[in-house]
Amino acid sequence: MAETALITGASGGIGEEFAKLIASKGVDLVLVARSGDKLQRLAESLTAAHKVQVHCLALDLSTPSSAAQVESFLESKKLSIDVLINNAGFGTFGPFVESDLAGELGEIQLNVTTLTHLTRLLLPAMVRRGKGRILNVASTAAFQPGPMMAVYYATKAYVLSFSEALANELKGTGVTSTCLCPGPTSTGFNARAKLGSGGMLSKKSVMMEAATVARRGYDGMMKGRRLVIPGLLNKMLAHSTRMGTRGLSASIVRRIMDGIRSSR
Report the alpha-carbon distance of residue 3 to residue 60 in Å, rounded.
25
Q: Residues 152, 153, 158, 218: which is the catalytic one?
A: 152
Sign of CA dihedral 224, 226, 227, 232: negative
Residues in Cβ contact with 222 at an 8 Å cutoff, skipping those fewer than 6 apart: 133
- How far out from the chain centre does Cα 134 lie? 11
Question: Angle 125-129-133 (CA atoms, 0-180°, nearest 5)?
Answer: 75
CB 7 within 8 A of CB 86: no
Rounded distance between C-alpha atoms, residue 36 and residue 14, angstroms: 17
Amino acid of residue 239:
H
152 tagged catalytic: yes
Q: Where would I find the beta strands (DSSP E) of the chain?
A: 4-8, 28-33, 54-58, 83-86, 132-137, 175-180, 185-186, 208-209, 227-228
Question: Catalytic residues, which ones?
Answer: 152
